[in-house]
């Protein structure tokens, strides 16, 4: 009879225990998110003239096999013909990040297409049937009152690419004269429940006002049904511009990004459709904290990345 060495059994049991513990690590809302390292970005802007030398922001983090993949957007210039594209940085520890040589991994579309001016706000990566799906927001023209915001997807067999845009894009479009006239992605995961995929998105009646949390579901990741058809899951009175959502145990916890940052709160839900406002989000940082990524675990400790001064910083949930 084959015998497995005792040390291997012990290591396997330890690994299993660690995974189980991490999968049930509570997010203590009484603790403070502390910028780490203080005053130093973990993903910086590129050199002058590069595709990301004006800004790097709106991070989203996907974790696989103890490796961390930060998808982010970047801007190349402040001139009228600016572009926003999507890049990728990878980390082994959540602290030190390496931008990929093939950045940007998602470029704008051809002129006149739904994402011909902007391809940004990467979010909600999921692996399904040996392929990865990355959702993002597109815009057809630069800032005007008539600009259109919609959501599409790129698909790859490896997280590092090549990422191919779906021929069905855009998958989720804004609706004229509805609460979600414009729609964009937010830094939330895709959640699997009841044999369906669930996606949170940002809906806006106007550009950057009267906005709230929308929820859509799908059974194939390419055809989406609005679950918040007539009104958002969280009232537009809250003016939530973004919601970072993670699953903790059997529930969902969100970190809101309202127009008034001082009103940032935790939100709690059991089904992604009904939300209860919680306590204020405590943050200790060297500057103004803008869009926060989805919370993710690094060796049993909650982390987030976030935008600050057009760079990406890291915070760890810690005691004061």
For residues 4 and 254, the answer to whether their CB atoms sit within 8 Å is: no
- Six token digits for residue 244: 């970072």
**Tokens 């995929």 correspond to what residue?**
197
- Copy the structure tokens of residue 208: 């950057």
Strands of the sheet with 251-258, listed across from one edge: 240-248, 251-258, 265-269, 275-280
Q: Is the dihedral of CA 276, 267, 171, 62 positive or negative?
A: negative
Distance CA 134, CA 105 (A): 11
Q: What's the pLDDT band for 6 if we cut at 50, 70, 90? A: very low
Cβ-based neighbours of 53, under 8 Å, separated by 6 or more: 45, 46, 47, 76, 77
**Residue 73 CA: distances (Å) to CA of 58, 61, 175, 193:** 6, 12, 25, 29
Tell me the backbone φ, ψ of residue 173, rounded to 5 degrees.
-115, 155
- CA 157 vs CA 74, 128, 130, 164, 235: distances in Å: 23, 10, 7, 10, 38
For 4, 139, 203, 263, the CA distances from 243, given in Å and listed in that order, are 47, 20, 11, 13
pLDDT at 83: 83
Chain length of the chain: 320
Residues 184-212 have pLDDT tens digits of 999 999 999 889 999 999 998 877 788 99
Dig out the tokens for 113 from the structure.
Answer: 């297409």
Residue 47: pLDDT band (50, 70, 90) is very high
- pLDDT tens digits, 218-239: 999 999 999 999 999 999 999 9
Q: What angle do CA 124, 125, 127 make, to 5 degrees?
A: 135
> Hey, which of 3-7, 42-46, 116-120 has the most confident mean pLDDT?
42-46
CA–CA distance, 101 with 25 (Å, rounded to integer): 34
Distance CA 316, CA 298 (A): 9
Rounded to whole angstroms, the Cα distance separating 232 from 230 reads 7
What pLDDT, in 10s, does the model give residues 80-137? Answer: 677 899 999 999 999 999 999 999 999 999 988 999 989 999 999 999 999 999 999 9
pTM, entire model = 0.89
Domains of the chain with bracketed CATH:
42-318 (2.115.10.20)
Strand ranges across the sheet with 32-35 = 283-284, 32-35, 311-318, 301-308, 296-298
Residues paired with residue 209 on neighbouring β-strands, in sequence order: 206
Work out the angle at residue 92's Cα, subtended by the Cα atoms of residues 118 and 157, and round it to the nearest 5 degrees: 55
pLDDT for the residue 19: 32
Is residue 12 very low, low, confident or very high in pLDDT (cuts 50, 70, 90)?
Answer: very low
Do residues 175 and 116 make contact, with C-beta atoms less than 8 angstroms apart? Answer: no
């Amino acid at each position: 009879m084959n015998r497995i060495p005792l040390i291997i059994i012990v290591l396997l049991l330890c690994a299993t225990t660690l995974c189980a513990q991490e999968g049930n690590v509570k997010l203590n809302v009484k603790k403070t998110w502390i910028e780490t390292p203080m005053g130093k970005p973990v993903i910086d802007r590129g050199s002058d003239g590069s595709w990301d030398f004006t800004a790097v922001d709106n991070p989203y983090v996907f974790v696989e096999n103890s490796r961390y993949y930060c998808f982010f957007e970047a801007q190349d210039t402040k001139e009228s013909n600016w572009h926003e594209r999507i890049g990728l940085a990878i980390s082994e520890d959540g602290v030190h990040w390496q931008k990929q040589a093939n950045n940007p991994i998602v470029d704008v579309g051809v002129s006149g297409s739904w994402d011909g001016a902007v391809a940004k706000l990467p979010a909600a990566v999921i692996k399904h049937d040996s392929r990865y799906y990355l959702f993002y927001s597109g815009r057809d023209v630069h800032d005007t009152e008539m600009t259109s915001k919609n959501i599409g997807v790129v698909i790859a067999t490896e997280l590092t690419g090549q990422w191919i845009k779906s021929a069905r894009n855009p998958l989720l479009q804004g609706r004229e004269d509805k609460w979600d006239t414009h729609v964009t992605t937010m830094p939330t995961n895709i959640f699997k429940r009841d044999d369906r995929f669930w996606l949170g998105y940002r809906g806006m009646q106007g550009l950057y006002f009267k906005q709230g949390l929308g929820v859509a579901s799908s059974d194939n990741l390419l055809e989406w049904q609005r679950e918040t058809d007539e009104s958002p899951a969280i009232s537009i009175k809250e003016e939530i511009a973004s919601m970072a959502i993670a699953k903790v145990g059997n529930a969902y916890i969100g970190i809101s990004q309202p127009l008034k940052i001082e009103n940032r709160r935790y939100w709690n839900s059991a089904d992604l459709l009904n939300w209860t406002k919680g306590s204020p989000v405590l943050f200790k940082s060297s500057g103004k904290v803008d869009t926060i990524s989805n919370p993710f675990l690094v060796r049993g400790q909650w982390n987030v990345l976030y935008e600050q001064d057009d760079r990406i910083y890291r915070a760890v949930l810690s005691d004061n």
